[in-house]
Amino acid sequence: MKILAVCGMGIGTSVLLKANAEKAAQDLGLDAEVEVADIGTARGASATADLVLTSGELADELGDVGVPVTVITNFVDAEEIRRAIAEAVG
């Protein structure tokens, strides 16, 4: 499974989200690769992703990218991220 963590610039909060998403995926027993992207490259990068994690504001900017886009309200809330990934993989 490939997860894309998206923030505005692709260097700050997405790195934090990436680390927490990796931990969440591991806790769920998923074989997941988490990559980061800025909003400008997220559309192209999402073409090879199974799931996109981002903020509500950026989810609106991304629009329909052909894969599930899950809004994370608190990028440091490990439980929220774990729950979001678990729901996305069903």
Q: Which pLDDT value is given to residue 7? A: 85
Which residue's entry shows tokens 């505005």? Answer: 8
Domains and CATH numbers, the chain: 2-75 (3.40.50.2300)
Q: Which two tokens mark 61?
A: 């900017």
pLDDT block averages, 10 residues each, the chain of length 90? 86 85 96 93 92 93 92 93 93
The DSSP letter of residue 48 is G
Q: Which pLDDT value is given to residue 13? A: 81
Is-contact 3 53, C-beta < 8 A? yes
Give the span between the Cα atoms of 16 and 78, in whole angstroms: 11
Q: Look at residues 32, 33, 30, 35 and name the one whose alpha carbon lies nearest to residue 6.
A: 35
Torsion angle of C-alpha atoms 24, 85, 21, 11, degrees rounded to 10: -170
